[in-house]
Structure 1
Amino acid sequence: MTATEVLSAVRAAVSVPADLRVAVLGVGLMGADHVARLHGRVSGARVAVVSDAATDRAGRVAAGVPGCRVVTDPLAAVADPEVDAVVIASPGRFHEEQVLACIDRGIPVLCEKPLTMDADSSLAVVRAEDAHAARTGRRLVQVGFMRRFDPEYAALRELIAAGGIGEPLVVHCAHRNPAVPAGVTTESIVNDSVVHEVDVARFLLDEEIAAVTVLRPRATRHAAQGLSDPLLVLLETVGGRMVDVECFVSTGLAYEVRTEVVGEDGSAMIGLHKGMVRQHTGPGGAVRSTAVAPGFRERFGLAYDLEVQRWVDAARRGTVDGPGVWDGYAAQAVCAAGVEALRTGRRTEVRMEQR
C-alpha cells in the first residue's frame, strides 16, 4: 500500500459531517507545516485561526489559507467561539498554560512535545484532564509523539505483540541529525531528541522506564563548543529490558533514525533504510533497501500526516486516538532522570507518581 493509499484509508474510516475548525498556536517551522497539512492533506478540518508572537509571520501563514484569521493572543484563540480544536506548536514554555486553557474550555488539543517543560507541571496537566474526564467521560489531549504513527514503527509494534521475534530483550536505537541550530545544549539533546526514543521504548515494549544512565563519548570536532555530542543513553525498563540509544546530532551526513529490537527468537530493524529489515531463521530471509532521508520531514512526513488525520477524526468523534497526557508526563519524568544522570554521571532512577 502506498503512502497516499494509507492516508486515504484513514480518511475513509470516519465519516462525520462538518469540518473541525482548528486554531494553530505557533506558526514557526512545525506550526506552519501543520497549517499546510490541515489545509492541503488532511480531510475533515480547516484552519480557522492562527496565532503567533511574530504577527508578520502569522499574517503570511494566514494569507495562504482562505478564511483564516490571525488572533494575536493565543488564549483568546483558544476561547474563540469559532474554534472547535487547537494544535499547539508554540515554544514549550507556553504549553502548560495553553493546554490547561483547552481543558478548561473542553475542546480537543494536539500538543507538540513537550507536554510541558518539567515532570511536575506535566503531572498537573494529567490531573486536570483526569478531573475533566471524571466529570464528562471525555479525554481531550493528544501529545505529538508522531513516530507512533509511522508505518514502520506500527509494523514493528505489531510484530512484537504477535510474538514474531519472541520475548523482546534488548532495543538498539540510533538518532542522528546532520546538524542542529545554534544554542542547542547537551541537556537539550536529552530533552528534545532522546525524548523520542523514550516514547518509542514505551510504545514498543508497553512498559515504563525505571532508570537512566548517560555516557559521554569523545565529542565530535563538529560539535559546538561545550556540547557533548554524541551521547550514549541506557534505559532500563521495569521488566528488566534494556534500551541503548546513540544520539548524535551533528553528524554532517543525513537524518538517520534506526531502531532494532532483539528478541528470544529473532530480531527486527527499521529506519536506516526505507522499510523493515527483519533477520530470522524462517522462510523469506532478510529484506534490505537503500534510501536514507536527508531530514526529519522526509523521514516522518507520512507519520505527521497520519497523526493529524487521526487526531482530526478522533476529535470529531469525541475521542483521543494517540499518545495522551500520561505519555507526555512519563516522557518528562524519564528525561528529568536523564538530565540528572548527565550531570552526575550516575545511574538515576525515574521518579514517577501513580495515576
Structure 2
Amino acid sequence: MADELRHRPGLPVPGVRDRRLRHVLPLRGGGDLLVHLRQACVPETKGRTLESLESLESELRARFTVTGARVTAVTDIDAARAEETAAPAGARVLPDGAAVVAADDVDAVLVTSWGPTHAEHVLNAIAAGKPVFCEKPLGTTAEDCLKIVAAEQAHGRRLVQVGFMRRYDAGYRQLKQVIDSGRIGEPLIVHCAHRNPTVPESYTSAMAALDTAVHEVDVLRWLLDDEIVSTRVVTPRATSKRFEHLEDPPIMLFEGAKGVRIDLEVFVNCQYGYDIQCEAVGEEGLVRLPDPAAVAVRTGGRHSTEVLTDWVGRFADAFDTEFREWIGNLAAGREPTGPSAWDGYAATVITSATVEALESGRVVATDVEPRPAFYGGAA
C-alpha cells in the first residue's frame, strides 16, 4: 500500500500579502509521496484573518493528499518559504522556474504562481515536452494564452491542463449529466450566484470577473457545450458592507452562441456565508445544483441548516479529484483530459471582456477565436 506523506506544520498558505509568490512544483512519476498542492494559488484566501488562514491551512493538510507522484524540486521568490515547502517532501530548492522545468528528474510541472508569471512557466514546460498543470489564469492576456495554444499545437500533443476545479465537483457533474441527457430539453436560461461572506480592501471590481466569475465562465462553457459570445454587467443598489471603491454586487449577463442567456450574481460581501448556486431552465424542466450536504435542525419552532463559510468545505473534494485524475492520466501515459489551454484562453478573453463591459456599461462581444480542431473544434 502506498505511503502517503501529509502536510507538516509550518507549510504556508498565503493570503493577500503573498500575491507575488511564485511556486513551480515539479512532479516525479513513479513515487508514492504527497504532491504538495495549492499553497499559492487559491484566491479565496483573500480577506482571511491570520487565525482563519491557520484553520484553512490545517484543513488543506488534512484534505489534499494525492498519491502516485512525488515532489522533486521547488522554486519560489521567497527562499525561506521554498525551503519550508521542499523539506517535508525531501525535495531540493532551485533558483527559478526555468531550472525546475529543465531538471532531469522532473517529469511534470505544477504552476501555482502569481498570474502574470504563468505563461512563462507553461511555455517553458511545453518547450521541454513536459506536462504542466497551471492554476488559472492560464495567462493574463489573450496574446499570452494564444502563444501557449500555438506552442502546444506545434508540439502535437496535449500537455497543458488548467486548474478549473468545478468540473470535478460531484454536483456540477450531476448537473451536466442531466443537461446532456436531454431530460429538461434544450437549455434556455441559466441562473447563477457566487457569494462570499466578505473580501479585503485590496479586492477590486475587476477581480469580480477575473478572479471570481472566471469559475462560472469555465463551468458554464462546459455545462452547455457552448461558447459565450457577449457580456454585459449591470450594477444594482450597492451593499453598504462593501469598501467604497467596489461595485458589489454586480450582475453579469452572458449570451451563448446557441442563444442561451445566463445571469450571474457576484456578491462578495454577502455576510452570511459561501454560497454557490446554479440552475438551468430547459424547454421541459429545470435542474439545480445541489447544496452541500448539511444536517437539518428543527428546534424551538425553527428549521435550519448550516451554510458554509468558505470554499474549503464546498470544493475540497473537487480539488482532490482534479489532481487524482490528472496524475492518473499522466501515470497511464495518457494526455490530460481536464480543462485545456484553449479553455484557459477562452476564460481569459471572456473575463477581460466582462471587465470592459463593467467599465463601459456596454454590451461587449467576447471575440473568442474559432476553436481549433486540435482542441475538438471544427476549425
2:312 aligned with 1:297: yes
2:76 aligned with 1:52: yes
2:186 aligned with 1:167: yes
Deviations 1:267-302 (A, max 9, x none): 111154439xxxxxxxxxxxxx94432211110000
Task: Work out whether residues 25 and 88 of structure 1, in 8 Å CA contact, stay in contact via their aligned partners in 2.
Answer: no
Distance 2:274 2:63 in 1: 27
| Paired residue secondary structure (2:139) | coil
Match in the other structure for 1:8:
none
Residue 62 of structure 1, CA deviation: 2.1
Determine which of 333, 336, 347 is the counterpart of 2:352.
336
Residue 64 of structure 1, CA deviation: 2.5
Match in the other structure for 1:195:
214
Deviations 1:63-110 (A, max 9, x none): 332x22222312211111111111111000000000000000011111
Task: Work out whether residues 35 and 65 of structure 2, in 8 Å CA contact, stay in contact via their aligned partners in 1.
Answer: no
CA separation of 1:131 and 1:296: change in aligned 2, threshold 3 A: same
| Paired residue secondary structure (1:186) | coil
Determine which of 125, 129, 137 is the counterpart of 1:114.
137
2:91 aligned with 1:68: yes
Task: Work out whether residues 220 and 230 of structure 1, in 8 Å CA contact, stay in contact via their aligned partners in 2.
Answer: yes
Distance 1:78 1:30 in 2: 22
Distance 2:363 2:254 in 1: 10
Match in the other structure for 2:174:
155
Match in the other structure for 1:314:
329
CA separation of 1:143 and 1:69: change in aligned 2, threshold 3 A: same
Distance 1:23 1:351 in 2: 37
Name structure 1 gaps, 5 residues minimum: 1-16, 276-288
Deviations 1:332-351 (A, max 9, x none): 11112111111110111111
Task: Work out whether residues 115 and 143 of structure 1, in 8 Å CA contact, stay in contact via their aligned partners in 2.
Answer: yes
CA separation of 1:22 and 1:326: change in aligned 2, threshold 3 A: farther
How does 1:269-288 map onto structure 2 within 5 Å?
269-274=288-293
Distance 2:107 2:117 in 1: 20
CA separation of 1:226 and 1:271: change in aligned 2, threshold 3 A: farther
Task: Work out whether residues 223 and 250 of structure 1, in 8 Å CA contact, stay in contact via their aligned partners in 2.
Answer: yes
Task: Work out whether residues 39 and 112 of structure 2, in 8 Å CA contact, stay in contact via their aligned partners in 1.
Answer: yes
Indicate the larger mover: 56-65 or 206-215. 56-65
Match in the other structure for 1:206:
225
Task: Work out whether residues 229 and 366 of structure 2, in 8 Å CA contact, stay in contact via their aligned partners in 1.
Answer: yes
Distance 2:219 2:98 in 1: 32
Task: Work out whether residues 51 and 71 of structure 1, in 8 Å CA contact, stay in contact via their aligned partners in 2.
Answer: yes
Match in the other structure for 1:260:
279
Q: How many residues were matched structurally? A: 320
2:303 aligned with 1:325: no
Match in the other structure for 2:47:
none
Deviations 1:180-199 (A, max 9, x none): 23311101111111111111
Task: Work out whether residues 21 and 48 of structure 1, in 8 Å CA contact, stay in contact via their aligned partners in 2.
Answer: no
Deviations 1:13-48 (A, max 9, x none): xxxx82389997984364997xx7799621211122
Indicate the larger mover: 263-272 or 37-46. 37-46
Deviations 1:223-252 (A, max 9, x none): 112100111000100000011000011122
Deviations 1:95-134 (A, max 9, x none): 000000000001111101000001121111111111111x
| Paired residue secondary structure (2:72) | strand
2:40 aligned with 1:28: yes
Query: Counterpart amino acid of 2:208?
Result: I
Query: Counterpart amino acid of 1:328?
Result: G
